[in-house]
Amino acid sequence: MTQPQLVDSHCHLDFPDFDGEHEAVIGRAHAAGVTRMVTICTKLSALPKVQAIAEAHDSVFFAAGTHPMSVAKEPMVTVAELVALAAHPKMVGIGETGLDYHYTAESAAVQAESLRIHIEAARQTKLPLIIHARDADEDMARILTEEHRAGAYTCVMHCFSSSATLAQATLDLGFYLSMSGIAAFPRSADLRAIFASAPADRILVETDAPYLAPPPHRGRRNEPAYTAHTARVGAEVFGMTEAAFAAQTSANFDRLFWKAVV
């Protein structure tokens, strides 16, 4: 039987958890059917390492931006900087950016400023925006909607685990929801129901490695190979075969992350 071909749309291969192991980790991903990975830069000071990993591996692409939890401690990125970085052939997305009121609510204003900068860069480059949202559903829906009215852009709600209301608001804008290992946790029935109500052509899969490993690896370091475990649950959620779900999510990825098509 041919193994389903998957894409890990969001991981962090530059994190210290993977130091000295990139070849092995990427090799295990390929063996598990994960043909491409997007490694995400969370602050521009880390970009050289992120970019080098992508340049060294044909199957790895990267995105660049400033994570909302880092915004208050990092220099504010500019639209011009992000647009210039997007000229790199392996840079395929803008972010991750967004709002995090769970850990860093005190920097809400500067997070919103950074988010709007990233949105404008996504508009200008036509690259997808990669959104991190935690405990900020109302402001997130408002800003994304306001900005979309001001000028269209594409977007994925990475590691989606927010409310059905935010899911619908972003789907209404034509955005995508990404399914992480959280959706495979036994207690995530409500989240699985949110995904089940979404169109199958707006779903991506990811690991967010090294975080959020799905069962049977929960509690251990996550890695791109484990995309297959989340995809298996995703197939059940959508009533599809594993092969059909893998094909659907890969086609969705190709449509959104158009620069990563090989």
Q: What is the DSSP string of 202-233?
A: GEEE---TTS-PPTTSTTS---GGGHHHHHHH
Can you tell me the distance from the alpha carbon of 49 to that of 140, in angstroms, rounded to the nearest whole number? Answer: 30
> What is residue 259's predicted lDDT score, i.e. its pLDDT?
98
CA distances from 169 to 144, 146, 175, 207 (A): 9, 12, 9, 24
> What is residue 262's predicted lDDT score, i.e. its pLDDT?
75
pLDDT tens track for 209-241: 999 999 999 999 999 999 999 999 999 999 999
pLDDT tens track for 133-154: 999 999 999 999 999 999 999 9
Domain positions in the chain are 6-260
> What is residue 1's predicted lDDT score, i.e. its pLDDT?
54
Mean pLDDT by 10 residues, the chain (262 residues): 88 97 98 98 96 98 98 97 98 98 97 98 98 98 98 98 97 98 96 98 98 94 97 97 98 98 81
Given a contact cutoff of 8 angstroms between Cβ atoms, the answer to whether 14 and 39 are in contact is yes
Assigned architecture for domain 6-260: Alpha-Beta Barrel (3.20)
100 three-class SS: strand
Q: Write out the E strands in the chain.
A: 6-11, 34-40, 60-64, 91-100, 129-134, 155-157, 176-179, 203-205
Q: Is the pTM of this model over 0.95?
A: yes
> What is residue 2's predicted lDDT score, i.e. its pLDDT?
72
